């Protein structure tokens, strides 16, 4: 019985891990995602809704100073602000379904510019943040409904982002946890 429960648990845990990976999306903001042409600056809002995000106060920007080369060989990303009005300083990405993580490849121009990224849940509670100058890759983990980013006085860009598009059902996790608990009970009974 114990071997059967262990085998079933391994299958459930493996399936759950595959569900988590299958639900992960990475956007490069290049024409493989959404073909917006090769115009350097394009205002976007709901062009990425099919990928589970709505973007406000940001524009897609092509810049060969971007250190994160996209799979299609381009240098695409999201910059905070409006394509025609640089006084808008805080970009925002809303997730149609909350995500459990947000990872971004980011970069800035010059040594004095800093990017600041904050994540919030649906109630506006802060879930985490990161900041820096130059370039890097950072992750925020939590119940994330939206992310904001801005600069300290210059261009900053999210080159690529990764997140969950569909939350993993709690029932799957609970079922796998329950099976692991049953194995523990079976072990204790056998030992007694």
3-state secondary structure of 97: strand
pLDDT digits (tens, 9 = 90+) for 41-61: 888 889 999 999 999 999 999
Q: Which fold has domain 26-167?
A: Jelly Rolls (2.60.120)
* Cβ atoms < 10 Å from Cβ of 28: 20
pLDDT tens-place string over residues 61-118? 999 989 998 988 889 999 988 877 767 689 999 999 999 999 999 999 876 789 999 9
Q: Cα–Cα distance between 179 and 192 in angstroms, integer?
A: 20
How far apart CA 126 and CA 143 sit, in angstroms, is: 10
Domain boundaries, the chain: 1-23+169-192, 26-167
The pLDDT value recorded for residue 39 is: 83
Q: Is the pLDDT score of 176 beyond 50?
A: yes
Band (pLDDT 50/70/90 cuts) for residue 28 is: very high
Per-residue pLDDT, averaged over 12-31, amounts to 66
């Amino acid at each position: 019985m114990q071997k059967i429960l262990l085998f079933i648990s391994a299958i459930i845990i493996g399936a759950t891990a595959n569900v988590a990976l299958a639900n992960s999306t990475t956007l490069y903001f290049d024409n493989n995602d959404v073909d917006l042409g090769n115009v350097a600056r394009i205002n976007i809002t709901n062009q990425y809704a099919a990928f589970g995000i709505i973007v406000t106060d940001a524009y897609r920007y092509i810049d060969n100073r971007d250190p994160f080369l996209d799979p299609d060989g381009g240098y695409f990303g999201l910059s905070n602000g409006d394509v025609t009005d640089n006084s808008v300083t805080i970009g925002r990405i809303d997730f149609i379904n909350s995500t459990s993580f947000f990872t971004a490849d980011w970069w800035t121009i010059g040594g004095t510019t800093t990017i600041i990224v904050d994540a919030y849940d649906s109630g506006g509670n802060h879930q985490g943040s990161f900041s820096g100058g130059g370039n890097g890759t950072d992750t925020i983990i939590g119940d994330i409904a939206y992310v904001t980013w801005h600069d300290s006085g210059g261009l900053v860009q999210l080159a690529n982002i990764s997140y969950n598009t569909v939350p993993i059902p709690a029932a799957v996790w609970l079922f796998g946890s329950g099976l692991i608990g049953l194995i523990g009970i079976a072990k204790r009974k056998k030992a007694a």
